[in-house]
Structure 1
Amino acid sequence: MLGTLSMARGRLLAGCIAASLCLAATAQEGSYYKWTDASGTVHFSATPPPGQKAEALKLQGQEGEQAAPAPPAPATEPTAQLEEAQAAYRKNACDAARNDLGLLEKNHMIVSGDSPDAATKLDAEQRNQAKLRAKQRITQFCGTGTKP
């Protein structure tokens, strides 16, 4: 009984391997061949076996056919929750830009850098560039109907 079970498993395994080879073969271009060896095992390969008769397989989609490209996904309308999140983001960015511009225009000492130990004082040119960027952000985020 154990021998019968092993043979059934072996046949199942051989069938799974053959099916996998067939599926893998469809992804490749060219001709494929099927043959049975002396022990009755069925083989599939891209090259015919030397000295044995093999059946040439015709795979679907190999005669210059190409699958049609998938249609583009339809555009979806933004949800109310997304629009609320975008509005909150624009408001926060607008407030931050206005705050930055206010500080830059008061000529307070401004430092740049992530760490207080590595911070450097802005010179006049850097201050002017920072003012320009703050004004651009105000235009971008504080204007009516603009999106980030």
Structure 2
Amino acid sequence: MLGALSMARGRLLAGCIAACLCLAATAQDGTYYKWTDASGTVHFSATPPPGHKAETLKLQGQDAEQAAPAPPAPATEPTAELEEAQAAYRKSACEAARNDLGLLEKNRMVVSGDSPDAATKLNAEQRNQAELRARQRITQFCETGTKP
């Protein structure tokens, strides 16, 4: 029983080695050499054997030139739908930035955070930074011709 299991493992190992050799062969340039040594064992390699007469082999499909990659698609003009969506986004972002700046300039209490329980009051430095960011967003989104 152990003999049969050992033979099965040997065949599995031989199959794995053969598969690896086949995969390695496809990674080469397609030129291989076949020769037989003094004991009658046939060898295949990507380099010619030193001191042995070898037959040169070419794999099928290796002579053909590889297909060139497709050229990039030409840039297309934005569609009317895209331009409308961008304009709507700019308008919405502009209004939000102006609203934020208005609240910051009124010196009202401003809190930061997603949930009221975890919110923290802005200190003077944080308020100044928030005002600067709001002004930058106004410049970016409210000026005509500027795209996001």
Does the alignment reach a TM-score above 0.5? yes
**3-state SS, counterpart of residue 103 of structure 2:** helix
Change (3 A) 1:91 1:28: farther
Determine the structure 1 residue equivalent to 2:114.
114
Q: CA deviation at 1:55?
A: 6.8
Q: Residues 14-53 of structure 1 correspond to what in structure 2 (within 5 A)?
A: 25=26, 28-32=28-32
Cα distance change, pair 66–139 in 1 and its aligned pair in 2 (3 A): same
* Count of paired positions: 115
Alignment partners' CA distance in 2, 1:29 and 1:118: 63
Partners of 2:84 and 2:115 lie apart in 1 by 34
Are 1:100 and 2:100 an aligned pair? Answer: yes
* SS class of match (2:108): coil
Q: What percentage of residue pairs aligned between the two structures are identical?
A: 79
Cα displacement (A) at 1:116 = 1.1
Alignment check: 8 A CA contact 2:104 2:110 kept? yes
Q: Kindly indicate whether residue 141 of structure 2 is the aligned counterpart of residue 141 of structure 1.
A: yes
Q: Does structure 1 residue 56 correspond to structure 2 residue 84? A: no
Cα displacement (A) at 1:71: 2.1
Give the residue type in structure 1 aligned to 2:87: A
Counterpart-to-counterpart distance in 2, 1:104 and 1:33? 79
**How far apart are the structure 1 equivalents of 2:98 and 2:79?**
29
Q: What is the RMSD of the two structures over their aligned residues, measured on CA atoms?
A: 3.5
Structure 2 unaligned spans of 5+:
1-21, 35-44, 48-53
Three-state SS of the structure 2 residue aligned to 1:56 is strand
Amino acid at match of 1:137: R
SS in structure 1 at match of 2:101: helix
Query: CA–CA distance in 2 between the matches of 1:84 and 1:77?
Result: 13
Aligned to 1:130: 130
Structure 1 residue 120: Cα displacement = 0.4
Which residue identity does 1:109 align to in structure 2?
M
Closer, same or farther in 2 for the Cα pair 1:87/1:29, shift >3 Å? same
